[in-house]
Copies of this chain bind each other. A is one copy, B any other.
Amino acid sequence: MAVNIKAYWQAVAEQDQDALAGWFAPGAVIRWHCTNERFTAEEFIRANCEYPGQWLGQVERELWAGEQLVTVARVYAADGSLSCHVSSFFQFQGDKILSLDEYWADDGPPPLWRQAMKLGEKII
């Protein structure tokens, strides 16, 4: 399927309501599981575009499994105040998103108990 998912993520980071509206099929459902929220496309676009701050994003992982697309994107505040990795499970209908299940994870240092173990290396 010819889906340019990087363009989708660019629209998310830029909080581009018009571009985002073109991505969703009628009746699309979006779920943010970590906060137990379920949105229509219109609600999701409002929540995304009214998120405070200016955002940048990169797609770090992208793989297809049948009709599903899985991405991991890093989304971070332009002022450096916040960084997340979001795992996204897209179900497509043609080139439109029919459902999207997301898990937003905040980035940050390891907890103190693990820092004290002095295990492993930094990735980057």
Residues of A within 8 A of B (CB): 31-40, 43-44, 46-47, 50, 52, 60-61, 63-66, 68, 70, 72, 85, 87, 89, 101, 103-110, 113-114, 117, 119-124
Q: Is the CB of B85 within 8 A of A37?
A: no
Q: Is the CB of A108 within 8 A of B35?
A: yes
Q: Is the CB of A68 within 8 A of B63?
A: yes
Q: Is the CB of A123 within 8 A of B46?
A: no
Q: Is the CB of B103 within 8 A of A40?
A: no
Q: Is the CB of A61 within 8 A of B89?
A: yes
- Shortest C-beta distance, A22 to chain B (Å), equals 20
Given A43-B120, A63-B70, A105-B105, 4 further pairs, Cβ under 8 A:
A33-B123, A37-B123, A61-B101, A87-B87
- Shortest C-beta distance, A20 to chain B (Å), equals 15
Q: Which residue in chain B gives the minimum CB-CB distance to A87?
A: B87
